[in-house]
């Protein structure tokens, strides 16, 4: 499992740790319009899947806003934010933040994404939240890049994520 901390304290993360070169596993998320989003929803596109604890935190807010700005420059890339936030809360947050290019999705139903992508937190103050991780998935569902951010309270390495799109 990836080594992850929250403000320096170790966090237990469960699920399958993924590596570049593997096939992306399937999942079922709920978009903020209440429809489903699965791996097949973005087939044929390059996707950035950004797992995070909650849009209502400063770092997740900054990360999602940054990816929304990047999305404007990446017309053939789908960017999906994944958290345990309920879809209604995500919709409210997107409206207030002016985020209209990132697809926000919730793993609240059964944590299928968290389990399949190795980012489901077990125990502690973030129990059943997702740790911060970014996956770049190619058009044929191959994993091009994986970053489990070692410190949950830090943003991902945007330069590496964007470089993996090429």
CATH assignment at residue 28: 3.40.30.10
Which structural domain, as residue segments, surrounds residue 143?
Answer: 4-163
Over residues 112-165, the pLDDT tens digits come to 999 999 999 999 999 999 999 999 999 999 999 999 999 999 999 999 999 999
- The reported pLDDT for the residue numbered 2 is 81
Chain mean pLDDT for the chain: 95
- The reported pLDDT for the residue numbered 67 is 97
Cα–Cα distance for residue pair 45/52, rounded to 1 Å: 22
**What is the reported pTM?**
0.96
Sign of CA dihedral 119, 121, 125, 129: positive
- The reported pLDDT for the residue numbered 120 is 97
pLDDT of 75 > 90? The answer is no
Domain count, the chain: 1
- The reported pLDDT for the residue numbered 1 is 74
Query: Is 119 part of the annotated catalytic residue set?
Result: no
Cα–Cα distance for residue pair 92/14, rounded to 1 Å: 29
Cα–Cα distance for residue pair 29/36, rounded to 1 Å: 6
- The reported pLDDT for the residue numbered 16 is 87
């Amino acid at each position: 499992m990836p080594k992850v901390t929250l403000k320096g304290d170790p966090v237990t993360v469960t699920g399958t740790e993924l590596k570049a070169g593997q096939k992306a596993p399937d999942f079922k998320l709920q978009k903020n319009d209440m429809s489903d989003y699965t791996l097949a929803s973005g087939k044929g596109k390059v996707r950035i899947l950004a797992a995070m604890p909650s849009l209502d935190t400063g770092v997740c807010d900054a990360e999602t806003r940054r990816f929304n700005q990047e999305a404007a420059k990446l017309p053939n890339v789908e960017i999906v934010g994944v958290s345990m936030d309920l879809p209604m809360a995500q919709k409210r947050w997107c409206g207030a933040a002016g985020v209209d290019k990132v697809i926000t999705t919730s793993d609240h139903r059964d944590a299928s994404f968290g389990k399949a992508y190795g980012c489901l937190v077990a125990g502690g103050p973030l129990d059943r939240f997702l740790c911060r991780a970014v996956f770049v998935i190619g058009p044929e569902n191959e994993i091009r890049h994986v970053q489990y951010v070692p410190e949950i309270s830090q943003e991902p390495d945007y330069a590496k994520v964007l470089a993996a799109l090429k």
